Each structure stands twice: as C-alpha cells, then as structure tokens.
C-alpha cells in the first residue's frame, strides 16, 4: 500500500528540469529528457505531468514509477518484439539502444472512451464514424468495449497537438513503408493482448494505450519509449466495470483521467495562456494511484528513494554506471 504520509512530505520534492553534467542533451519531451553518452541514449523520466499537450503539474515519485513500470513491461513483452532497454541504473533513468523513431504513435484501443481531441469517444460523440480509417458502428455508448481492439494512429509533430491519421495516409505520405507498418500493427496488437492478459490476472482492464516503435542500426523494428505505464495507458477496475457501465457511470480508474477532467472543468486547457495550479490533494492522489497500480500489477514494492536531491542522485548513479 502506498505511503500517503511520505507522498505528502514530498509534494515539492520533484524533478521537472534536468541538466546532467558530462552528457549530451538531445531532446526535452513532455515528460522525458533524452541525453547521449558513449554511443548510448539516456532517457531520464521526470515528474512532469502532461496532458492536452501541456504540463499540468509535478507529481512526486512519478518519474521513478513510470521508469520502473516500463522496465517491467519491456521484460514482459520482449518475446513478442525486441525493445530498446539496456539498463536502469537509477529509478528515474533508462539506458537504451539508439533507434530511429517512426514519426507516428501507435494508439491501440479496446474500448471507446476518452476526453481529449484525439480520443475515440469525443470524435464519435461529435458524429465521426470513420475514425483514423476505422469504420465504427452506430449505437456505441461511452466506455463500451469494441468487438476487437482497433489501431488509431496519431502523428508526432515537434510542436502543436497530435493529429489523427489513418493507415492509408501513413503509407501514402511515406511516413512508414507499408511492409513495416503491417509488422508494427501486428506487434502492437500482440503487445496489447499481452498487456490485457497480465492486467486481467491482477483485476484490471487495460483500456487503451500508445506505443512508439523505431529502427535500430541493423534494420530491426524495436519497441521504444514506454510500455503500458499509467501515462501512456488507461486502466479500469475490472470487478466493477460491467455494473457501472450498465448504470451509465464512469468506470473506476487508475489513470490520470480525473486530473484531466479537473482541468477541463476549471479552464480551457488547449487554449488558455496560463493554467490554474493543480490542487495538492489531486497531486497527492495521482502519486498514490501511480504507486498503487505499480505495486498491484507488478507485484513489486515501490522504493521511494526519498531524502536526497533527485538530480544529484541521478547524476551520481549514471556516473557510476558509465565509469
């Protein structure tokens, strides 16, 4: 069970900016900062909370949870497709293979839900039936399960919002060769199926997720970025889903949806120049949920690593690894 007192004590003990000494900084993403040294990539997962293509808050221990969660799932799916993970020398850090990332995010959905502009439910509720090249039937209700999982890709622009795109458009625009995209789709559906099976064993529903794939120097398609973390995926409680769906209620969830909803209710998160500060109780709750689902789904006990400057700890652990 997560330690709420420890979470409260560390509400301001977070890492949102990074500046590793002796490493070449390549990229600052929504949540992860990427460095390079000795021919290897270093992905440092911060505590930044992202949604609506904005940073909403800093969540204590989040970076450590996400990085360790991804490591768990990389191990669970490595028999399906190779991945980029080499080592995790610090709770917040992954040393990975250099791969050239495809410019498309592979979004896999098992249910019709969501609140963002690229979500299946928002578009369906607005009347769209051909969603990212997938023809959806009439009469679907929010949070309903699809007959089979669907792939609804999005582009990955350097700036601005992710945009919906279809398989046909991906190939026509030359973003991914057809043969490679076919293989990526097979990998994505197989990884999602594995994720749903493992989640179901622990009492969860893996609702939807996103994957990023790349190519290594040998031309292999490689799974990269993160896998089935609470940032990239939506989880519901399996035991109460059917009754709540039948009653028209929202499923019990373990993801960041409640924080998204708070911002949608209190501002226009896509267009407002400044966003309100996330309330401490919501920040605490989200940290609790991240740690809780990590422990319940992986069976591991989360190590908090509190009491030391996070940036200094990361620098020390990485220097030891490379030395």
* Contact in structure between 212 and 53 (CB atoms under 8 Å): no
What distance separates the 2 farthest-apart alpha carbons in the chain?
60
Residue 158's pLDDT is 63
Per-residue pLDDT at 160: 60
Residue with tokens 């990229």: 27
**pTM for this prediction:** 0.91
Q: What was the pLDDT predicted at 31?
A: 93
The tens place of each residue's pLDDT in the chain, 323 residues long, gives 899 999 999 999 999 999 999 999 999 988 999 999 999 999 999 999 988 888 899 999 999 999 999 999 999 999 999 999 999 999 999 999 999 999 999 999 999 998 778 899 999 999 999 999 999 999 999 999 999 999 999 997 665 667 899 999 999 999 999 999 999 999 999 999 999 999 999 999 999 999 999 999 999 999 999 999 988 999 999 999 999 999 999 999 876 778 888 998 999 988 988 999 999 999 999 999 999 999 999 999 999 887 779 999 999 999 999 99
CB atoms within 10 A of CB 247: 7
Within 8 A by CB and 6+ apart from 220, the residues are 82
Tell me the Ramachandran region of residue 189: left when phi exceeds 0, alpha when psi lies from -120 to 50, beta otherwise. alpha
Predicted confidence at residue 42, as pLDDT, reads 98
What is the DSSP code string of 267-299? S-TTT-SS-PPPPHHHHHHHHHHHHHHHHHHH-
Contact present, 153 and 165 (Cβ < 8 Å): yes
What SS3 state is found at 109? strand
Model pLDDT for residues 32-48, shown as the tens digit of each residue: 999 999 999 999 999 99
Task: Name the E strands within 115-257.
Answer: 130-131, 134-135, 144-151, 154-155, 204-215, 221-224, 233-237
* 296 token code pair: 């319940």
Q: Who contacts 239 (Cβ-Cβ below 8 Å, separation ≥6)? A: 203
Which class is 4-100+280-322 in CATH?
alpha beta
* Pairing verdict, β 204-215 and 104-112: antiparallel
Q: Where are the domains of the chain?
A: 4-100+280-322, 101-246
Which CATH number applies to 101-246: 3.60.15.10, 1.10.287.110, 3.30.470.20, 1.10.3720.10? Answer: 3.30.470.20
């Amino acid at each position: 069970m997560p330690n709420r007192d420890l979470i409260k004590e560390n509400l301001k003990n977070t890492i949102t900016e990074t500046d590793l000494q002796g490493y070449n900084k390549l990229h600052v993403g929504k949540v992860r900062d990427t460095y390079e040294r000795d021919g290897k990539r270093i992905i440092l997962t911060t505590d930044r909370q992202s949604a609506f293509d904005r940073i909403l808050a800093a969540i204590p221990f989040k970076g450590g949870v996400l990085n360790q969660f991804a490591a768990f799932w990389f191990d669970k799916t490595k028999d399906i497709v190779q991945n980029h993970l080499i080592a995790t020398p610090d709770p917040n850090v992954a040393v990975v293979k250099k791969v050239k990332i495809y410019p498309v995010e592979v979004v896999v959905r098992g249910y019709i839900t969501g609140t963002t502009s690229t979500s299946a439910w928002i578009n369906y509720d607005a009347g769209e039936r051909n969603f990212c090249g997938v023809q959806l039937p009439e009469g679907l209700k929010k949070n309903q399960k699809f007959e089979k999982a669907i792939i609804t890709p999005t582009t990955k622009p350097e700036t601005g919002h992710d945009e919906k795109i279809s398989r046909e458009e991906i190939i026509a625009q030359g973003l991914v060769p057809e043969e490679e995209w076919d293989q990526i789709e097979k990998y994505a559906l197989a990884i999602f199926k594995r994720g749903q099976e493992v989640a179901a064993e622990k009492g969860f529903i893996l609702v939807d997720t996103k994957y990023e794939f790349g190519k290594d120097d040998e031309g292999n398609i490689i799974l990269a970025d993160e896998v089935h973390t609470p940032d990239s995926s939506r989880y519901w409680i399996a035991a109460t889903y059917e009754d709540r769906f039948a009653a028209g209620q929202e499923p019990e969830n373990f993801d960041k949806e409640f924080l998204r909803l708070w911002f949608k209710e209190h501002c226009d998160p896509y267009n407002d120049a400044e966003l309100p500060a996330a309330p401490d109780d919501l920040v605490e709750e989200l940290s609790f949920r991240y740690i809780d689902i990590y422990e319940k789904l992986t069976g591991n006990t989360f190590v908090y690593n509190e009491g030391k400057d996070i940036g200094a700890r990361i620098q020390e652990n990485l220097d030891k690894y490379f030395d």
